[in-house]
Amino acid sequence: MHYTFDIERGNFTDAGQASSSVKRTLKHLGVAPANIKRTVVALFEAEINAIAHAYGGTIDVDIDDQKIVMVVADKGPGIPNLDLAMQEGWSTASAEVREMGYGAGMGLPNIKKNTDDLKIESTVGVGTTVTMTVFFA
Amino acid sequence: MAAQETFFGHSLKVDKSRCLGCTTCMRSCPTGAIRIRGGKAVVYDNKCVDCGNCMKVCPHKAIYIQQDDFALIHNYEYRVCLVPTTFIGQFEEKFRTREIYACLKKLGFTHIYEVEHEVEYVVELYKKYIAKHPEIRTFISPYCPAVIRLIQVRFPSLVDNIIRVRAPFELAAHIMTNRLMDEGASRESIGVFYVTPCAAKIAAVKYPVSNKETMITGVINMDFLFNKVQLMLRESKKDAEAINHSLTSRDILWPLPGGEASLFRGSHYAVDGLQNVLNFLERLEDETVDARGLVEMRICDQGCVGGVLATNNRFVARKRLEDRARLLDQPDRPLNRYTRYNNPEFCKWIDEQMEIDEITPHSIYKLDDNFAEAIKMAERMKKIEKALPGVNCSACGAPSCAALAEDIVRGDADISSCMFINRHSQASEDAIRNIWGDRIKTRTINQDKSE
C-alpha cells in the first residue's frame, strides 16, 4: 500500500504527521513494536531534516508484507559532503533551528541506526532524496 | 460484533433504560471502545480501559459502576475500611478527620486504615525495580490502573516500561490483614473493603493484571460512602474516633499530581489528565521525548481527586488535601510503622506479593494475524475512509469515519450505515448541501451503493 505526504518548509509544529499516520497503519498490520519504533524514529528524523534544511518536499511510503520503503524527497540546498553529514554531531542547522531543539547533528546517523537500508542521493542546489527501508522480519 | 476472547473484565456498565444513544460517550472515549447499537451505547470489552470518561460526560447518568453490596461487610468479624486520603479531601475542613472516621465506624467498620500509610514502601519498591533494570530508560508508574490498561491496548510497545509493582491498596490490605492476624484474628474473619474514587481501581481489584492473591475482600464506591458520612456529619451530635495518625504530610498529598514524584525524589515527570497522558505516551512511543527516570501518570485531571466517584470538585478537593497536609505538618514518619517491616523475611515475602509477574500487550489495532490479509484490509480501510465524508457525525453508530471504516473491514458494520452515502432523495441531498456545502460530493440519486 502507498501513502504520500507533503512537507512544508519551517513548519516544525506539524512535524510528525507522516510518522503518526504510518505508525497507525503499522499497528493495524500487527508489525512488531520494535520495528514500528525504528520506522517511526527514522521517518520523523528525515521529515525534520527536510523541514529544517529544504524548501519543502514529499514523503512517499510503500508497505508490503516484507518491508516498508520510505522516500523523502526535498527541493533544497543539497548535501555538499555526505561523509561529514553522516558523522554524529556534524550539523549545518541554523541558529533558529537549533533554538527549537533540533540540529544536534544526530539526524542522519540516527536514521542509519534505525533502518536496514539507507540510500542518499543529493545534488547541491537541487535537493536531496533519502530512501529508507525497514524489513519486518 | 465479532466474537473475541475477552482480556479484560469491567466495572463500568450501561444502564439501557437510561441510555438514549446520544453518542456523547462514544465520541469522547480515548480508545474508541463504544458503539451505538439498537439505539444504546455498547462497549467493546477488549478496548475499554475503565478510565471512566464516558461516565463523566454522560448527560443522562446512564453509565454506572457496579459495586459490592455494602451489607457484605457484616459477613466478617473484623471489618476494615481501607480509605484513600482522596476520601478525606471530599469533606469541608471544619470536619476533622477523626469525626469522619467515627462515622465510618458507626456504619459498621471495626478498623479504619489509610492506604497512604504504605505509599512510601511502594516507592521504595519502585526504586528497587528501577535499580534492577538499568537497560530501561523510562519507567512508567504502575499506580493508575487505567494507564496500565491504556498502554496494553494502545501503546503495546511501552508495556516493558511499566514498573511491575502492585498498587498501594494491595500492600495496605496485606499489612492490615497481617496486623489483625498478629492480634489473633483468623484470616477468614477479616474483611478488607477498599473505598475507590474511580472505575479503574475496581476493575484492577476484580480483574487484576497480576495473578497473585488479593487481600481485598470488596470494593465500595466513594460517592456511596460520602453520601452516608456527609449525612451523619450534618447531624448535630458528633463523635470523634481516636486515630493514631502516622501519615506524613507527603502521604496525604499522594493522590494529587506529583504525589509519587515527591516521594521518589529522583528524575521524574508528573502527567495528569486523559489528553495529556495520551499525548505523552504517544511521544514516548515515538521517542520524540526523552524521558529519563520515573513518569507518574494519572488518567484523571488533578489525579485521584478527579476520579469519577469523587463527589466534590477536583480543585476544591485538592486545596483541602493541601490544607490538611499543611495543618498536619508532619514531614517525617513517626516511629509507629508496622513492626514486621523490621523483619527481613517478612519484607522478602511482601516484596514478592507486590510483584506483578507480567503485563501483556493486547493491541486493539491489529486487523488480522495474517500479514497479507491485514494489508488487504488496511488498503480497503483506506479506500473506504476516502469515500466517507470525514465529518465524524457519529450517526452511523461509530465515533468517527475512520472508526466506521475499520468496523466495516472487520465485518462489524456496513457502509450503508453512513447517512451521507446512503441517501436516496433530492430532499436529503439538498439538506446535506445546505449544511456541509461543497465538502460532500453531490451524488446522482440511485448511484450504485456498492461503490
Element spanning B97, H or E: helix B97-106
The three three-digit cell numbers of residue B193, written as one number = 473493603
How far A101 CA lies from chain B's nearest CA (Å)? 11
Chain B residues inside the 8 Å CB shell of A64: 375
**Cβ atoms A46, A96 nearer than 8 A:** no
Residues of chain A contacting residue B361, judged by C-beta atoms under 8 Å apart:
33
Q: Count CB atoms within 10 A of the CB of residue B70.
A: 16
* Whole-angstrom distance, CA of residue B172 vs CA of residue B122: 10
For residue A6, what pLDDT band results from cuts at 50, 70 and 90?
confident
The pLDDT of residue B228 is: 94
B95 within 8 A of B233, measured Cβ to Cβ: yes
pLDDT of residue B296: 96
**Alpha carbon distance B180, B185 (integer Å):** 6
Of the candidates A123, A120, A130, A93, the residue with the CA atom closest to the CA atom of residue A10: A93
Within 8 A of B287 by CB-CB distance, chain A residues are 37, 40-41
Q: Which residue has the higher pLDDT, B132 or A15?
A: B132
Give domain limits for chain A. 2-135
What pLDDT score was predicted for residue B340? Answer: 86
Q: Which amino acid is at A96?
A: E
Which of B135, B371, B376, B410 has the highest number of chain A CBs within 10 A, making it the mutation to test binding with A?
B371
pTM of the model: 0.86
Contacts of B71 (CB under 8 A, 6+ apart): none
3.40.50.261, 3.40.50.720, 3.30.70.20, 1.20.1260.10: which CATH number matches B1-66? 3.30.70.20
| Length of chain B measured in residues | 451
Question: What are the cell numbers at B79?
Answer: 471489618
**Pairwise CB contact (< 8 Å): B371 & A44:** no
In chain A, which residues have their Cβ closer than 8 Å to the Cβ of B363?
A: 27, 30
Question: Of B83, B51, B81, B78, which Cα lies nearest the Cα of B65?
Answer: B51
Nearest by CB: B375 against A27, A34, A63: A63
CB-nearest to B378 from A16, A23, A28 is: A28
Higher pLDDT, A82 or B272: B272
Q: Please report, for residues B20, B101, B197, B398, the alpha-carbon distance to residue B304 in angstroms, rounded to integers and kept in the order given.
A: 29, 20, 7, 30
**CATH of the structural domain B70-120+164-261+304-353, one choice from 1.10.287, 1.10.3470, 3.30.530, 3.40.50:** 3.40.50
Q: Which residues contact B332 (CB under 8 A, 6 or more apart)?
A: B248
Name which of A30, A40, A63 is nearest B286 (Cβ-Cβ): A40
Distance, first Cα to last Cα, chain A:
18
> Which of A30, A33, A41 has the CB atom closest to B374's CB atom?
A30
Integer Cα distance of B297 and B259 in angstroms:
10
Rounded Cα distance between B87 and B92, Å, is: 11
Would you state the pLDDT for residue B450? 46
Here the contacts of B136-140 (C-beta below 8 Å, separation 24 or greater) are B136/B160, B136/B161, B137/B290, B137/B291, B137/B292, B138/B284, B138/B291, B138/B292, B138/B293, B138/B295, B139/B163, B139/B293, B139/B294, B139/B295, B140/B284, B140/B295, B140/B297
Q: Which of B83, B78, B89 is nearest to B113 (CA)?
A: B83
Interval A45-65 mean pLDDT: 88
Is A27 in Cβ contact with B371 (below 8 Å)?
Answer: no
Q: What is the ipTM of this complex?
A: 0.77
The C-alpha cell 460512602 sits at B225
Q: Where along chain B do the CATH 3.30.70.20 domains lie?
A: 1-66
User: Which residues in chain B are closer than 8 Å to A29, comparing Cβ atoms?
Assistant: 366-367, 371, 374-375, 378
Kindly provide the b/e burial profile for residues B286-318, where b requires at least 16 CB atoms within 10 angstroms of the residue's own CB: bbeeebeebbbbbbbbbbbbbbbbbbbebeebb
pLDDT of residue B377: 95
Q: What does residue B147 show for φ and ψ, rounded to 5 degrees?
A: -65, -40
By three-state DSSP, how is residue B223 classified?
Answer: helix
Closest CA to B8 of B63, B49, B54, B55: B49
CB neighbour list of residue A94: distance below 8 Å, 6 or more residues apart: A52, A103
| Among B282, B369, B379, beta carbon nearest to A1 | B379
Helices and strands (DSSP H and E) totals, chain B? 17, 11
Nearest to A33 among B156, B375, B382 (CB): B156
Contacts of A30 in chain B (CB under 8 A): 363, 365-369, 371, 374
Give the residue on A whose Cα is nearest the Cα of B402: A24
B304: which 3 cell numbers?
Answer: 485521584
Closest to B361 measured CA to CA, from A63, A32, A12: A32
Least Cα distance to A1 among A98, A95, A67 occurs for A67
Q: Residue B382: its chain A contacts at CB < 8 A?
A: 1
Contact criterion met (CB < 8 Å) for A28 and B382: no
Q: CB of B241 within 8 A of CB of B101?
A: yes
Q: Which CATH number fits domain A2-135: 3.20.20.70, 3.30.565.10, 3.40.50.620, 3.40.50.880?
A: 3.30.565.10
Which grid coordinates are listed for A36?
514500528
Inter-chain CB pairs, A–B, below 8 Å? 60
- Answer whether A29 sits within 8 Å of B287, measured CB to CB: no
What is the location of CATH 3.40.50 in chain B? Answer: 70-120+164-261+304-353
pLDDT by 10s per residue, chain B, length 451: 444 566 677 889 999 999 999 999 999 999 999 999 988 999 998 899 999 999 999 999 999 998 888 999 999 999 999 999 999 999 998 898 889 999 999 999 999 999 999 999 999 999 999 999 999 999 999 999 999 999 999 999 899 999 999 999 999 999 999 999 999 999 999 999 999 999 999 988 888 887 788 899 999 999 999 999 999 998 766 677 777 667 888 899 999 999 998 888 889 999 999 999 999 999 998 888 889 999 999 999 999 999 999 999 999 999 999 999 998 877 776 656 788 888 899 999 999 999 999 999 888 999 999 999 999 999 999 999 999 999 999 999 999 999 999 999 999 998 888 988 877 777 777 777 777 777 666 665 555 444 4
Dihedral through CA B305, CA B308, CA B310, CA B312, nearest 10?
90
pLDDT score of A100 more than 90:
no
**Closest residue in B to A40 (Cα–Cα):** B286
Contacts B380 to A, Cβ<8 Å:
none
Question: Does the distance separating the beta carbons of A37 and B372 come in below 8 Å?
Answer: no
Residue of A30, A34, A65 with shortest CB distance to B366: A30
C-alpha span between A103 and A96 (Å, rounded) = 9
Which has the higher per-residue pLDDT, B132 or A77? Answer: B132
Please name the residues between 344 and 363 in chain B that touch chain A, using a CB distance below 8 Å. 361, 363
